[in-house]
Chains A and B, each alone.
Chain A
Amino acid sequence: MNIRVALADDPELGAGNVLMKLREHGAAADRPGITFDVGVDGHPAWAPLSFGELCDRVAARAAWLHQQGIKPRDPVAVYATSAADCLLTFMALNWVGAIPALMNGNMPGETAVEYIRRLRATAVLTDAAHRSLLDGRDLGGATVADVAEAGTGNPAQAPGYYRYADDDPIAITHSSGTTRMPAAVVHSHASLFAATRQLRLAGPRAHGTERILSALPAAHTAGILTLHQALCRGSELLFLSAQGGPFERSGAVVLDAIERWHPTAVYGFAVTWAELARFDLAARDMSSVSVWFNTGDCAHETHVRRLVAVGSHVTYTREGLVSVPGSRFIDGIGSTEMGYSGFRVSHHAGSDRYGRCVGKPHIFAEVALLDLDTGQEVPTGQVGHVGLKSPTLALGYWNDSVTTYRYRYRGYYLTGDLMYRDSEGYYYHVDRAADSVDLGGGNWLYTAMSEERILVRCPDVRDCTVVAGMADGKVVTDVLLLLDAKADPDADRAEAVREALGAPAAATLRRIVAVPDDDIVVGPTGKVRKFLMRQRHLAGVGTP
């Protein structure tokens, strides 16, 4: 029997036991495992680990963890930069039944200390670079160990694989931490595998995902999902560490990796596409790329159009199966709490469904756009709060029932997003609810939609952030532009920006300013921290 079917039909398979189940269903040792951009356990960087070698490296860590006294259901934090340290340790913690709490290596030390304390973690596995941030700090009793040492275990001494039930917690990942302390989100054995089961195992074999380059953060939900999907499909997977490194240089790292490794698919968050917009892609060898996959925030049209102009993809036409110039870009808006993309839209060179269109809900998702005052769904064309029912939804927030239940509403999980739906059933993301501003008289300023429109109208602007809020009793809006290297910083963009904002929001415009990259405060995954940006800019009311 086809191994994908065997996996799809195995009710015990879930996010906690992918390795064990693959082995049980006869996955060959020479099947693709994973490739890292860093060396691990003496295995060189960029050299693929076969499935058999991957199992061996994970078993070594499981043996070491067992030897160290890590028990089933112990929360264990992993705070490291290398994707290998993160993902191999993740799978080993699953092996012994502990609950891995993956932390982004970009999380500042102070935040990390508090985050670990709130986890009530048993242990923290960390690398040398992060260890100094934790040394001597009150971690609530968590012991600290070197994550690299875990690889020294003897694979033959690994304990038996932990047996999971569907609702057992198998991972704690954190949100982007754009507004506050990153929220610790807990996923179950079933929830974090529900989409992979329905789309990748029970769905049709897709073209273009034979070789996946991931610029996603390994320590996040999207990183785990990508690992599991690649393993179950038998795709080759290259996992870059830390999304390619410091964001302002990550575009070059990702492009070099594409030219070196020739992926058919490149996975990333929105920051990766914004960084690639610094480069002339036509001057690079992007010929291997058939598909780009985005998750997290919705990607911007101007960034997507540059990507679909390069590479090629296979499609069926009346002339038969043909390879056509230009890649596809699949946009799947999602979040840590959603546990997978909730929506899906596909762009290519000939398509024109933009304007922050996020497509239609995945087959497993039920979406309602809600008016929170009445509890009713809003009519077509009207903006509402996104309520989601999905088997992928996280169990809740770890050690935080108050927050867990705050976002549940009439059986839905409130994602915190605002969208409208058109008459054809396509959904459009206008903003995060927390970032939108009521202008009175039924008018709203939607910052994300405004950014999209500014980028479309100002081709020499590489990225932008709209910061708006109340100051001295009135709404003020600042538009911060990140310009292309060749753009004229003194060009007058006021008319284009006002047009993009629309009259009611344009009336609140205080200034349009070209800023250096480091003026934009981003979280660990490259997402703009609008909450902090608002505080900083609104404090400066009245100053030019």
Chain B
Amino acid sequence: MFDSIREFIINSLREMNYDVEGIGDDTELGPRGADVESVALAELAIRVEDEYGVKFGEDEAEELSSLTVGEFCATVADRLAVAKAAGE
């Protein structure tokens, strides 16, 4: 699951015109890494929500922007697992 989430996120960033060359789990979403702007982060959150049904609140932007790609994928995977457990 983690691998497919990572692939989805990197593809999304590519579609959003970010340079994804060399982006991996340790790449920060902030300026040291992918350098995702705040509104682009909102776009990424909406793409993830549409794909996986996992929602990120407006007040989580600061926390999300401090994550690496790997940490972001793990957060999505965790929420998916919680949502699945709640649905069972």
A residues with CB within 8 A of B: 2, 4-5, 8-9, 198-199, 201-207, 314-318, 321, 344-346, 351, 359-360, 362-363, 426
Contact of B66 among A203, A360, A426 (CB under 8 A): A203
Contacts of A4 in B (CB 8 A): 31
The interface bits of chain B over 33-75 (1 if a CB of A lies within 8 angstroms of the residue's CB, else 0) are 0011111111100100010000000110111011000000000
A5 and B58 CA atoms in complex are apart in Å by 25
The reply to whether A316 and B31 form a contact with Cβ atoms under 8 Å apart is: no
Contact A344 B37 (CB under 8 A): no
Chain B: CB-nearest residue to A362: B62
Query: In the bound complex, do residue A202 and residue B66 qualify as a contact, i.e. CB atoms below 8 Å apart?
Result: yes
Asked whether B58 lies within 8 Å of A203 as measured between CB atoms, the reply is no
What are 6 of the A-B contact pairs (CB < 8 Å)? A5-B32, A204-B29, A207-B37, A317-B46, A318-B46, A345-B59
> A residues within 8 A CB of B66?
198, 202-203, 363
Q: From residue B69, how far is it (CB to closest CB) to chain A in Å?
A: 14
Given contacts A316-B39, A344-B59, contact A8 B31 (CB under 8 A): yes
Q: Is B30 an interface residue (CB 8 A)?
A: yes
Q: Is the CB of B58 within 8 A of A346?
A: yes
| Chain B: interface residue total (CB-CB under 8 A) | 23
Also in contact, A202 and B32, with CB within 8 A (given A359-B59, A362-B62, A363-B63)? yes
Interface of B with A (CB < 8 Å)?
28-32, 35-43, 46, 50, 58-59, 61-63, 65-66
Across chains A and B, which 5 residue pairs bring their CB atoms closest together, nearest first? A316-B42, A316-B43, A204-B65, A204-B38, A206-B38
Shortest Cβ distance from B45 into A: residue? A316
Q: Which residues of A contact B61 (CB under 8 A)?
A: 204
Q: Nearest Cβ in chain B — how far from A127, in angstroms?
A: 39
Given contacts A198-B66, A318-B46, A346-B59, contact A203 B39 (CB under 8 A): no
A474 to B62, CA, bound (A): 46
Q: Which residue of B lies closest to A344 (CB)?
A: B62
Q: Which chain B residue shows the least CB distance to A317? A: B46
**Nearest CB on A from B18, distance (A):** 12
Q: Are the C-beta atoms of B58 and A2 separated by less than 8 Å?
A: no
Pairwise interchain contact A363-B39, C-beta atoms closer than 8 A: no
A183 to B65, CA, bound (A): 36
Is there contact, CB below 8 Å, between B35 and A203? no
Kindly list chain A residues whose C-beta atoms are within 8 Å of the C-beta of B58: 346, 351
